[in-house]
Amino acid sequence: MIKETTTKKIAEDKDTKKKVGGKYYEAVGRRKTAIARVRITEAKANSFVVNKEKDLEGYFSVKELQAVSEEAFEKSGVKAKFSVTALINGGGISGQADALRHGISRAILKFDEDAKSKLKKAGFLKRDPRMKERKKPGLKKARKAPQWSKR
Protein backbone atom coordinates (compact mmCIF):
# COMPACT_ATOMS: atom_id res chain seq x y z
CA MET A 1 0.00 0.00 0.00
CA ILE A 2 2.84 2.37 0.77
CA LYS A 3 4.49 1.62 -2.58
CA GLU A 4 1.32 2.57 -4.46
CA THR A 5 1.13 6.03 -2.92
CA THR A 6 4.79 6.78 -3.57
CA THR A 7 4.58 5.73 -7.22
CA LYS A 8 1.46 7.85 -7.72
CA LYS A 9 3.21 10.82 -6.15
CA ILE A 10 6.21 10.39 -8.44
CA ALA A 11 3.93 10.17 -11.47
CA GLU A 12 2.17 13.38 -10.41
CA ASP A 13 5.51 15.18 -9.96
CA LYS A 14 6.60 14.19 -13.48
CA ASP A 15 3.38 15.59 -14.95
CA THR A 16 3.62 18.91 -13.12
CA LYS A 17 7.15 19.67 -14.34
CA LYS A 18 7.44 22.42 -16.95
CA LYS A 19 7.82 21.12 -20.45
CA VAL A 20 10.12 23.07 -22.72
CA GLY A 21 8.34 23.67 -26.00
CA GLY A 22 10.12 23.28 -29.31
CA LYS A 23 13.70 22.50 -30.11
CA TYR A 24 16.47 23.34 -27.68
CA TYR A 25 20.25 23.47 -27.83
CA GLU A 26 22.24 22.16 -24.89
CA ALA A 27 25.88 22.70 -23.91
CA VAL A 28 28.18 22.60 -20.90
CA GLY A 29 30.37 25.52 -19.86
CA ARG A 30 33.21 25.38 -17.36
CA ARG A 31 35.48 27.80 -15.51
CA LYS A 32 37.76 26.92 -12.57
CA THR A 33 35.61 24.44 -10.61
CA ALA A 34 32.26 25.89 -11.75
CA ILE A 35 30.10 23.91 -14.17
CA ALA A 36 27.07 25.28 -16.00
CA ARG A 37 24.71 23.01 -17.94
CA VAL A 38 22.91 25.36 -20.31
CA ARG A 39 19.84 24.82 -22.45
CA ILE A 40 18.66 27.54 -24.86
CA THR A 41 15.26 27.58 -26.58
CA GLU A 42 13.97 30.07 -29.11
CA ALA A 43 11.45 32.42 -27.45
CA LYS A 44 9.77 35.80 -27.90
CA ALA A 45 12.08 37.54 -25.43
CA ASN A 46 15.35 36.78 -23.66
CA SER A 47 14.74 35.16 -20.28
CA PHE A 48 16.95 33.32 -17.83
CA VAL A 49 16.14 30.63 -15.26
CA VAL A 50 19.06 29.56 -13.08
CA ASN A 51 18.90 26.40 -10.95
CA LYS A 52 15.17 25.91 -11.69
CA GLU A 53 14.05 28.81 -9.50
CA LYS A 54 15.85 32.15 -9.85
CA ASP A 55 16.12 34.61 -12.69
CA LEU A 56 19.47 36.10 -13.71
CA GLU A 57 19.11 39.18 -11.49
CA GLY A 58 18.13 37.04 -8.53
CA TYR A 59 21.10 34.70 -8.91
CA PHE A 60 23.81 37.21 -9.88
CA SER A 61 23.14 40.32 -7.83
CA VAL A 62 26.18 42.17 -9.24
CA LYS A 63 25.48 43.97 -12.54
CA GLU A 64 28.91 43.10 -13.99
CA LEU A 65 28.26 39.37 -13.57
CA GLN A 66 24.85 39.74 -15.23
CA ALA A 67 26.53 41.52 -18.14
CA VAL A 68 29.18 38.77 -18.40
CA SER A 69 26.44 36.15 -18.57
CA GLU A 70 24.58 37.92 -21.38
CA GLU A 71 27.71 38.92 -23.29
CA ALA A 72 27.63 35.89 -25.61
CA PHE A 73 24.31 36.97 -27.11
CA GLU A 74 25.60 40.48 -27.83
CA LYS A 75 28.89 39.37 -29.40
CA SER A 76 27.48 36.51 -31.49
CA GLY A 77 25.19 38.73 -33.56
CA VAL A 78 22.40 36.13 -33.47
CA LYS A 79 19.10 37.87 -34.16
CA ALA A 80 16.84 35.29 -32.45
CA LYS A 81 15.67 35.67 -28.86
CA PHE A 82 16.30 32.82 -26.44
CA SER A 83 14.98 31.42 -23.22
CA VAL A 84 17.95 30.18 -21.18
CA THR A 85 17.70 27.46 -18.55
CA ALA A 86 20.91 26.75 -16.63
CA LEU A 87 21.98 24.43 -13.83
CA ILE A 88 25.07 25.88 -12.19
CA ASN A 89 27.12 24.36 -9.39
CA GLY A 90 30.63 24.49 -7.96
CA GLY A 91 33.12 27.31 -7.77
CA GLY A 92 32.51 30.90 -6.80
CA ILE A 93 30.08 33.43 -8.20
CA SER A 94 32.52 34.92 -10.72
CA GLY A 95 33.55 31.51 -12.04
CA GLN A 96 29.89 30.56 -12.33
CA ALA A 97 29.15 33.64 -14.46
CA ASP A 98 32.06 32.80 -16.77
CA ALA A 99 30.93 29.16 -16.96
CA LEU A 100 27.42 30.33 -17.89
CA ARG A 101 28.84 32.53 -20.67
CA HIS A 102 30.94 29.61 -21.94
CA GLY A 103 27.92 27.31 -21.99
CA ILE A 104 25.70 29.86 -23.75
CA SER A 105 28.42 30.42 -26.36
CA ARG A 106 28.67 26.70 -27.07
CA ALA A 107 24.89 26.39 -27.33
CA ILE A 108 24.69 29.37 -29.73
CA LEU A 109 27.33 27.65 -31.84
CA LYS A 110 25.03 24.60 -32.18
CA PHE A 111 22.19 26.94 -33.22
CA ASP A 112 24.21 29.02 -35.71
CA GLU A 113 27.60 27.92 -37.08
CA ASP A 114 28.17 31.38 -38.61
CA ALA A 115 28.59 32.90 -35.14
CA LYS A 116 31.76 30.86 -34.54
CA SER A 117 34.20 33.49 -35.81
CA LYS A 118 32.71 36.24 -33.63
CA LEU A 119 32.55 34.09 -30.51
CA LYS A 120 36.05 32.72 -31.05
CA LYS A 121 37.47 36.20 -31.59
CA ALA A 122 35.88 37.34 -28.32
CA GLY A 123 37.43 34.31 -26.56
CA PHE A 124 34.14 32.80 -25.38
CA LEU A 125 34.65 29.33 -26.88
CA LYS A 126 37.93 28.57 -25.12
CA ARG A 127 37.67 27.11 -21.64
CA ASP A 128 39.75 29.21 -19.27
CA PRO A 129 42.17 26.59 -17.88
CA ARG A 130 43.44 28.55 -14.89
CA MET A 131 42.85 26.60 -11.70
CA LYS A 132 43.94 26.94 -8.11
CA GLU A 133 47.30 25.29 -7.51
CA ARG A 134 47.39 22.51 -4.95
CA LYS A 135 48.92 22.95 -1.49
CA LYS A 136 52.37 21.35 -1.10
CA PRO A 137 53.53 19.55 2.06
CA GLY A 138 55.62 21.71 4.39
CA LEU A 139 54.16 24.93 2.98
CA LYS A 140 51.24 27.02 4.22
CA LYS A 141 49.65 27.36 0.78
CA ALA A 142 50.70 26.36 -2.73
CA ARG A 143 53.89 28.43 -2.63
CA LYS A 144 53.81 30.40 0.61
CA ALA A 145 56.45 29.06 3.00
CA PRO A 146 56.56 29.50 6.77
CA GLN A 147 58.72 32.37 8.00
CA TRP A 148 62.40 31.43 7.93
CA SER A 149 64.67 32.31 10.83
CA LYS A 150 68.40 31.84 10.87
CA ARG A 151 68.61 30.97 14.58
* Across 74-97, average pLDDT: 91
User: Where residue 12 falls among pLDDT bands split at 50, 70, 90?
Assistant: very low
User: Please, what is the Cα angle at 52 between 51 and 58, to 5 degrees?
Assistant: 65
Q: What digits encode the pLDDT tens for the residues 19-72?
A: 445 789 999 999 999 999 999 998 888 889 999 989 999 999 999 999 999 999
pTM attached to this predicted model: 0.79
Which whole-number Å values give the CA distances from 113 to 23, 77, 84, 135, in the listed order?
16, 12, 19, 42
HSE toward the beta carbon, residue 5, CA cutoff 13 A: 2
Q: Assess contact for 60 and 53: CB atoms under 8 A.
A: no
Q: Assess contact for 115 and 78: CB atoms under 8 A.
A: yes
Residue ranges and CATH numbers for the domains of the chain are 22-122 (3.30.230.10)
